Amino acid sequence: MRDVVVIGAGMTRFGELWNKSIKDIFVEAAQNAIEDAGVDHIDSMYVGAMSPGLFVGQEHLGAVMADYLGVNPVPATRVESACASGGASFRQAFFEVASGASDIVLAGGVEKMTDGADVTDTLATAADQEYEVYHGITFPGLYAMIARAHMEQYGTTREQLAAVAVKNHRNGAKNPNAQFRNEVTPEQVMNSTMVADPLRLLDCSPVSDGGAAVILASMDVAKKLKKNPIRVIASAQASDSIALHSRKSITTLNSVVKAAEKAYRMADKKPSDMNLVEVHDCFTIAEIVVSEDLGFFEKGKGGEAVANGWTSIECNRVPFNTSGGLKSKGHPVGATGIAQIIELYEQLNGKAGARQVKDAHVGMAQNMGGSGASCVIHILEAK
């Protein structure tokens, strides 16, 4: 396989973008990425999106976006893997460049969630319809069960869950593209409206609109454009049972464990080599469980780690979700995996402004679908 590098990135602000259509959102992000990369064409493109048909009545997103972006007749394909659609889109683009089939590929992601669709029902289509959804469970409920089990098994506390939200809002406050740029206190999190016990409003990622895109290219193209090469040194993916009840344990996300093993092997790196990590904190408990399953902390100690500040930018031990994460930056589901890559790209280029991690040269992005039925992990390195 050839070396693959990221040479450009662009995104919209995340939030309720009521005056923009899904097409406007994607095209804005993609045009910004093309301009940032300084390329005069793309060879192909991928669009990650979870459920545009149910959210806004639009399918065939590859063709729609290629048309509105004005890049016909390039091949354009929509990629779907629930909330991991963005990560999966990036992975397809990575392989297309790595294989030598194309030199310049756009990987994007988009979702428009606030146009009036029933968001909770639409998101629940990513769970097992027969054995989970028909019995009334939704994603906040599924993650609440994971949280309860983790609290029971490892003594994880309500305060530790709140520490994730406090940290991510603090980081998001420094991100101009974040949906929520306000800091929150532990008391505000623990007194916010109950959603699914023990998860409260401020434990949840929000409902968001947004788009994100990056340009991947061969090393030859990057050299010609005199780009600082941010190499993709690992791309890994794994799956697990769609329903929680089929798993041996619900406090470990096996797709995360397996994808991480593959990613570390491919990159020839270990957790202690990472200077920053973007993880899929769709609910506060998810960041805690994932931080353990990626091998950063002993099983059951993720809550303690975040409460001790070990994952904060200020501590500089291993900063998690410097972008604000899904919690504060927002979670337009199809765009999330690409926005994570953009955070790594900015950090590794030293362009993350007030949230810059000192001497960042290796970073990981972990993006997952459903309650961890799919997981995509990438590792990027500045060389």
The residues binding ligand COA (CB under 6 A) are 83, 120, 123, 139-140, 180, 195, 201-202, 204-207, 282, 331
Compute the Cα dihedral for 346, 347, 350, 353 and give only its sign: positive
Say how far apart CA 23 and CA 35 lie, in whole Å: 18
Least Cβ distance, residue 168 to ligand COA (angstroms):
10
Identified catalytic residue from 83, 204, 282, 375: 83
Pairing of strands 44-48, 76-79: parallel
Residues 162, 311: contact at Cβ < 8 Å?
Answer: no
Least Cβ distance, residue 379 to ligand COA (angstroms):
23
Contacts of residue 233, defined as CB under 8 A and 6 or more positions apart, other chains included, come to 266, 267, 268, 269, 362, 379, 380, 381
- At residue 331, the 3 state secondary structure works out as coil
- CB closer to ligand COA, 201 vs 219: 201
Identified catalytic residue from 169, 331, 375, 378: 331
Residues 239, 374: contact at Cβ < 8 Å?
Answer: yes
Q: Which residues make beta-bridge pairs with 108?
A: 47, 213
- CB closer to ligand COA, 127 vs 257: 127
Tell me which DSSP letter residue 15 carries: B
Say how far apart CA 352 and CA 51 lie, in whole Å: 30
- CB closer to ligand COA, 280 vs 355: 280
Any idea which residue has 């992005």 for tokens? 365
- CB closer to ligand COA, 72 vs 120: 120
Q: Does the active-site annotation cover 83? A: yes
Using alpha carbons, select from 108, 360, 143, 374 the residue that is nearest to residue 250.
143
Least Cβ distance, residue 143 to ligand COA (angstroms):
7
CA R_g for the chain? 19
Least Cβ distance, residue 202 to ligand COA (angstroms):
6
Phi and psi at residue 84, in whole multiples of 5°? -95, 15
Phi and psi at residue 210, in whole multiples of 5°? 170, 160
- CB closer to ligand COA, 39 vs 282: 282
Least Cβ distance, residue 282 to ligand COA (angstroms):
4
Q: Which residues are tagged catalytic?
A: 83, 331
